Amino acid sequence: MHWFNPLVWLAFYLMNMDCEMSCDEKVVKLLGEESKKIYSYTLLEEASGGEWKRYRGGSICALLSFGEDHVKNRIRHVLDYRKPPFWMLVGAAAVLVILVVCLCSNPGGGTDAVDVANADSGAETEADAAQATGGADATEEAATGEFATDEVDYEAAKTEWLTVFEQGIHSREEFSALFDVAALEDTRSFAGQDGIQYLGYNGAAVRKLHQRILDGDAAAHETYKDPVKAAEALLNLQGGSGEMTELLYEAGRQYLFFQKDSTRPGEGSVANVHYIFADGSGIDIPMVFAEESSQIWMLSLGDIDSKGRHSTGPLDGENQARVVYAEYGPRDEDWATVAELSKKWVYVKVSPGSFADVAATYQVSSYGIYAATGDDAGLNCMVPGYIAPGCAAEGRSTVYQNVGNYYTSDSYRQEMAYLKQQDSVRLYYFAASDYQDGDLDIWIDTIREYDTSGQTGENGVTDWKLPSEAQDFSTDMLTAEDGYWILSQSNGTAQMKLPLLSNQPVWNGKVAADLTTEEADAYAAAQRRDIMTNVGVVFDLSERAEQETYALLDLDGDGTAEKLLLRSRMAQAVNEVDHSPLDQYIFAVNTMRGETRTAQNLGNSIYAFTPDGRQILLALMRRDEFGQCESFLFSYENGELQEVGSFAQDIREIWVENGQIITTQSYDYILQRENLRIIYRIGSDGRLAEIPTDRYDLPEQAVLHGLNKDLEVCRTPDAGSERFTINADHGVYFLYLDAGRQWLCVETENGVTGWLKLADYTAEEAWATFNDLIPNGG
């Protein structure tokens, strides 16, 4: 009867939907939050599988069991699902209990039985109730009054104290009336003194003073760079004089150009100022060197007994002094190419005070971002402003080098590469968008970027709002790598990757997303000219948005821009912002209907280069859990991208020479792991092909390997050749592998060579034969 009733069909559809989503929630509850993405992929696979679809056909059972027509809604529901918090469950239970009690209770005025029960149980009389209520009110009033009295007493004491203080301190006796001198001389610190609280001397106050000095207040600078003048100003000392007599705590001087001044202590040092009043009485005043670039001295609040735990920076409790959370400096190392003709600067986290006069060093500190740039410029505050400890301390800041091109050819001078690398440094740290200096609670909802070149944001600073799932993620570490911000937990149990968003102007002062069609064409054509002119230079073309990474490039030379798109399969499926990994991805031109490809831990960057000045190759790169890289190459043919091959090296560290792509790849050959030089070129069929070689030289040929037992070898790399034995008293050198990487040539100390067939050795046998190897290069 109801077969043609549309309301019944609607109810059936909604029931089906609720059943499916209830099942999805049950799965997430059982498997945990980390299963969301995997389960969503499973739904997507089931919805698109051809055989599976044909098996279930279009039956009513199919509607009840899966309902792939609205799989997109199911995936969204799974990704958005969160387990109800405990307080919500408790609240719901409480409401339910109240409703049951109210609905089941008798609305009448009571019965004799109830009255008797009350009488037997000793229920309070009306007078007793009134007395109890009056007592409660009296207690509440007393409590409120006591609190008000305490507040009035504090304000009165503060007013009285400040009235005396404003008249100036002229003697030790007057000083003793305001401060606990015995405690001060015992602890050598103003910590715990009421007067410090009354005066409002804290970190926020000194940072305001620092800002005044940065803004050009010469009088303030002149006062606070001298510890005696600073003590007089801070304590309103009158009619006397003083001098700095000793360092109570000597913090290490962090930079070479400060070490040249023997009278200037390191930042965080505590000095004693002995002050003599006009009447001849004196007082010892501990002062801290709170900030060294502006040379600010403040009253010390630190724990002098903690100096054994510090070599640089302030003492424990010294909340007015600058605290360096992290310092990042350049490490000069060989560029990992076969030619070894170039070097690169890699910015890494270093110990505070590790400045080397080769490139800028950057600090993330409680006073803001600082840079040490050389003897003349010194240490300067680049971005003033408080950074809370919870935002940047304990690994919650990181450095990233946004290098636009990588010099992988000997046609470019090292100096050019150095300049590019210096300009590319960006610092990232967590921030709270609504945080005010002095707030006790911090809610991290932002990644703050400092572009050291100053080309982006406001004075180089840009705030990136974290998505809600990232704000809720318990993060201990922030790193930036391969085009991602990576949020990690220190125990390694969970990790979240977010696209490292782009904000760099690319053309006419505009970011790529704001270019008109004509500007995009001009920019893409200029990109092509740069690539084709600079043979062997690898360009990072990446423009990263929330939903996808893209690049604008004139691939075919017609003067118009092709848009290269890189997106996760999940983001493509739901067609909205999604932070799924690129393990399954689509890489296409001007469309997202391309082939789905697979590459675990794929990086979020698009690279391009030309090996010969005639064709452009595109590249993606992944990094496995051991840090080993694999690069995938693509060519543009007939309006589509074709994968032409891959090799096991970071695309940014290849070497290009005479049309050849020279790589250094880690290779395990049972005995140990070596870096082999493997050369490729693009063949006539358009595919990446390895160029044959007679042998692969091993980099550590000068290392003599001792023997635990006699070693049997062949005269030539042929199992049928003559065999002979090398006595265990001798050691051998590993020289090279044969063309097929099946045989290893060894040489004794007296120049006798032989060949080992690698297939004859297991890891255990290798360890038993050679006394200095770890099997499989582990």
Q: What is the pLDDT of residue 47?
A: 57
Do 355 and 256 touch, CB atoms closer than 8 A? yes
Contact 325, 366 (CB under 8 A): yes
- Convert the pLDDT of each residue in 486-512 to its tens digit: 888 877 667 888 898 888 889 998 999
CB 540 within 8 A of CB 552: no
Least confident of 24-28, 53-57, 134-138: 53-57
* Cα distance from N-terminal residue to C-terminal residue, the chain: 74
CA–CA dist 92, 283 (Å, integer): 64
Inform me whether the pLDDT recorded for 45 exceeds 70.
no
Q: Does residue 403 contact residue 420 with C-beta atoms inside 8 Å?
A: yes
CA 567 to the chain's CA centroid? 22
pLDDT at residue 591 greater than cutoff 50 = yes
Bridge-based pairing of strands 270-276 and 562-568 is unpaired
Mean pLDDT value across residues 2-8? 70
Backbone angles phi, psi at 684, to 5 degrees: -65, -20
What is the arithmetic mean of pLDDT over 276-305? 94
Cβ count near 259 (within 10 Å): 13
104 alpha-carbon distance from chain centroid = 58
Q: Which two tokens stand for residue 360?
A: 């800028």
DSSP summary character for residue 61: H
Mean pLDDT for the stretch of residues 279-288: 96
Tokens 């090296």 belong to 649
The answer to whether the beta carbons of residues 280 and 335 sit under 8 Å apart is no
Tokens of 400: 């990233």
Picking from 272, 276, 201, the residue whose alpha carbon sits closest to that of residue 238 is: 276
pLDDT tier, 760 (very low <50, low <70, confident <90, very high otherwise): confident
**Contact predicate 50/56, CB 8 Å:** no
pLDDT in tens, 424-450: 788 999 988 887 776 767 888 999 999
Q: What mean pLDDT, rounded, does the chain reach?
A: 79
- Alpha-carbon distance of 754 to 745, in angstroms, equals 6
pLDDT in tens, 675-711: 888 999 999 999 999 999 999 988 877 788 888 889 9
What per-residue confidence (pLDDT) applies to 668? 77
Q: State pLDDT tens for residues 158-191.
A: 999 999 999 999 999 999 999 999 999 999 999 9
- How far apart (Å, rounded) are the C-alpha atoms in residues 348 and 329? 6
Q: What is the pLDDT of residue 645?
A: 96
How far is residue 170's CA from residue 446's CA, in Å, rounded to a whole number?
A: 50
What digits encode the pLDDT tens for the residues 324-361? 998 888 775 444 433 333 445 678 888 877 766 667 88
Distance CA 666, CA 451 (A): 34
**To the nearest whole percent, how much of the chain has pLDDT over 90?**
38
Cross-strand pairs, 501: none
Q: Which pTM was predicted?
A: 0.70
Cα–Cα distances in angstroms (integers) from residue 183 to residues 188, 230, 284, in the given order: 8, 21, 12
